[in-house]
Structure 1
Amino acid sequence: MTDASSNPSPLYAKLLGETAQIGWPELERFFAQGKLIWVKSDLDLVSVAEAVANDDTTQVAQWLSSGLIERMQAETAADLSARDPELWAVVTSPWVCVQERN
């Protein structure tokens, strides 16, 4: 896994450059399609996107089983819609990894 203290991979650097702030209204259609991956604030959003893009099933499975990432649930979507917090997203087609910044 790449983190900020190590030398980032070319893919990490590319994904970092494609990461942007986004509002919930722009993400709703991806939620409706079941394509949003909710990333808990404990994780580096770009590292998650990198693992998904690299099809690192072992790492992704560990995060899923520990609850650090999940397919966005309806309750989370409703909360985001109501609050419209600061969100960041990066696309790793067909997925969109999303995280709330605190």
Structure 2
Amino acid sequence: MTEHASTLYAKLLGETAPIAWQELQPFFARGALLWVEGGQDLIAVAQAVAENDRDKVSAWLDSGLLGKVDDTRAEDLLARDPQLWAVVVAPWVLVQERGQAPALH
């Protein structure tokens, strides 16, 4: 990891916080909410998005590990109200279910 990359990772880590689904609904309505599957490092995914790393992001999108929150998932999140973890990489908000989050480096 380069010095710039590690600095960006640390910055994103510092900007990551727990959030409730209710607070994320406006971002969902705008289509600006990206779901990161639980096995992925939320910060590493956010870093790849921030750096416009097309290869990594495309691979995650193609494999379903990253994607826009769809109506079915939104209904599930509304019904369950799980603990979520989110970070903003404008214009996106990346979100992951907190109970599924891997240990952060």
Aligned length: 96
Q: Which residue identity is paired with 2:10?
A: A
Question: Normalising by the residue count of structure 1, what TM-score does the alignment of the two structures yield?
Answer: 0.91
- 1:25 has 2:22 as partner: yes
Rounded to whole Å, the distance in 2 between the matches of 1:88 and 1:37 is 12
Structure 1 stretches of 4+ moved >6 Å: none
Q: What TM-score does the superposition give when structure 2 sets the normalisation length?
A: 0.89
Percent identity, please.
57
- Counterpart position of 2:102: none
Greater helix share, 1 or 2? 2
Aligned residues: CA RMSD: 1.0
Tell me whether 1:92 sits opposite 2:84 in the alignment: no
Q: Deviations over 1:2-21 (max 9, x none)?
A: 6xxxxx61000000000000
SS at match of 1:55: coil
Uncovered stretches (5+) of structure 1, i.e. residues with no partner: 3-7
Specify every segment of 5 or more residues in structure 2 that has no aligned partner in the other structure, as ranges: 100-105
